[in-house]
Amino acid sequence: MFQGFMIDTWVVASIVGVIAGIVGFFVVLRGSSFVAHAIPNGAFAGAAGASLVGASTLLGLGVFAVLGALGIGTLGRHGRHDVVTGLVLAFMLGLGALFLSRTIEYAPAIYSLLFGEVLGISHADLVPTIVLALLCAIAIAVLYRPLMLSSVLGEVAAARGVRTFALDLAFLLLVALATTMTVPVVGALLIFSLMIGAPAAARALTSRITVAMALSVLFALISVWAAIALSYRTNYPIGFFVGTISAGCFLLGRLWSRIRGGVA
Amino acid sequence: MSAPATFVPSTFASLIAPGFFSSGAVRTALTIGVLVAIVAGVVGTFTVLRGQSFAGHAFGDLGSTGGSGAYLAGIGPLWGFVIAGIAAAAAMEAVGVQRARGRDLATGIVLGAGLGLAALFLYLGTTATSTTGATVTILFGSIFAIPSSTVPWVLLLALISLALIAILYRPLMLSSASPELAAARGVPVRLVGALFLVALALTVALTAITIGSILSTALLIGPAAAALRLTRSPRAALASAAAIGVGTVVLGIVLAYDSNTWPPAGHAWPVSFFIVTLVLIAYLASGVPAYLSRRRDSREGRDANAGSAGASTLGAGGETTGAISTVVR
Instruction: Choose among A93, A97, A247: nearest Cβ to B109.
Output: A247
Q: Is the pLDDT of residue B328 over 50?
A: no
pLDDT tens readout for residues B249-280: 888 888 887 777 766 655 667 788 888 899 99
CATH number of the domain bearing residue A96:
1.10.3470.10
Band of residue A105 on the pLDDT scale cut at 50, 70, 90: low
pLDDT the model gives residue B142:
61
CA atoms B203, A79, A144, A207: torsion sign: negative
Q: Is the pLDDT of residue B316 over 50?
A: no
- C-alpha A103/C-alpha A50 separation (Å) is 10
**Which residues 209-238 in chain B show a CB within 8 A of chain A?**
212, 214-215, 217-218, 220-222, 225, 229
Q: Does A82 contact B51 at a Cβ distance shorter than 8 Å?
A: yes
- Which whole number is the average pLDDT over B95-103? 63
- Cα angle B218, B222, B226 (rounded to 5 degrees) comes to 170
ipTM of model = 0.85
Q: Does B115 contact A94 at a Cβ distance shorter than 8 Å?
A: no
- Which whole number is the average pLDDT over A242-259? 86
Q: Which residues make Cβ contacts (< 8 Å) with residue A131, sequence separation at least 6?
A: none
* Number of helices and strands in chain A (H, E): 11, 0
More confident residue, A207 or B9: A207
Distances in Å between the alpha carbon of B70 and those of A73, B56, B63, B90, B105?
38, 21, 10, 19, 27
Residues in chain B: 329
Instruction: Choose among B56, B113, B273: nearest Cβ to A98.
Output: B273
Q: Does A111 contact B280 at a Cβ distance shorter than 8 Å?
A: no
How many domains does chain B divide into? Answer: 1
Q: Is B101 a domain residue?
A: yes
Q: Is the pLDDT of residue B205 over 80?
A: no
Best probe of the A interface among B107, B120, B176, B314, by most A CBs < 10 A, is B120
Phi and psi at residue A168, to the nearest 5°: -60, -45
Predicted model pTM: 0.82
Q: Is B48 a domain residue?
A: yes
Q: Is B313 a domain residue?
A: no
Q: Is B263 a domain residue?
A: yes
Residue pair A98/B256 in contact (Cβ under 8 Å)? The answer is: no
CA distance B311 to chain A (A): 8
Q: What is the DSSP letter of B260?
A: G
Across all residues in chain B, what is the average pLDDT?
Answer: 74
Across all residues in chain A, what is the average pLDDT?
Answer: 83
Per the structure, the complete domain to which residue A254 belongs is given by: 4-260
Q: Does B9 contact A98 at a Cβ distance shorter than 8 Å?
A: no
Q: Is B303 a domain residue?
A: no
Instruction: Choose among B102, B126, B287: nearest Cβ to A79.
Output: B287
Best probe of the B interface among A95, A193, A219, by most B CBs < 10 A, is A193
CATH number of the domain bearing residue B231:
1.10.3470.10
- C-alpha A250/C-alpha A202 separation (Å) is 8
- Which whole number is the average pLDDT over A17-38? 88
Q: Does B105 contact A41 at a Cβ distance shorter than 8 Å?
A: no
pLDDT tens readout for residues A106-149: 556 666 777 776 666 677 778 888 888 899 889 988 888 888 88
B321 close to A (CB below 8 A): no
Q: Is the pLDDT of residue B190 over 60?
A: yes
- Which whole number is the average pLDDT over A213-227? 91
Per the structure, the complete domain to which residue B41 belongs is given by: 8-286
Q: Is B315 a domain residue?
A: no
pLDDT the model gives residue B155:
82
CA distance A89 to chain B (A): 8
Instruction: Choose among B51, B136, B283: nearest Cβ to A110.
Output: B136
How many domains does chain A divide into? Answer: 1
- Which whole number is the average pLDDT over B115-138? 65
- C-alpha B241/C-alpha B42 separation (Å) is 7
Q: Does A86 contact B115 at a Cβ distance shorter than 8 Å?
A: no
- Chain A CB contacts of B116 under 8 Å are 190, 193, 239-244, 247
Band of residue B20 on the pLDDT scale cut at 50, 70, 90: low
- C-alpha B47/C-alpha B65 separation (Å) is 22
- Which whole number is the average pLDDT over A56-64? 86
pLDDT the model gives residue B244:
94
- Chain B CB contacts of A188 under 8 Å are none
Q: Is B3 a domain residue?
A: no
- Chain A CB contacts of B71 under 8 Å are none
**Which residues 148-177 in chain B show a CB within 8 A of chain A?**
none
Q: Does B272 contact A85 at a Cβ distance shorter than 8 Å?
A: no
- Chain A CB contacts of B133 under 8 Å are 106-107
Residue pair B252/B274 in contact (Cβ under 8 Å)? The answer is: yes
pLDDT the model gives residue A67:
93
- Chain A CB contacts of B52 under 8 Å are 82
Instruction: Choose among B113, B123, B273: nearest Cβ to A95.
Output: B273
Give the range among A45-54, A89-98, B209-218, B235-244 with minimum mean pLDDT: B209-218
Band of residue B11 on the pLDDT scale cut at 50, 70, 90: very low
Band of residue B226 on the pLDDT scale cut at 50, 70, 90: very high
One-character DSSP codes across B298-318: HHTT--HHHHHHHHHHHTT-S
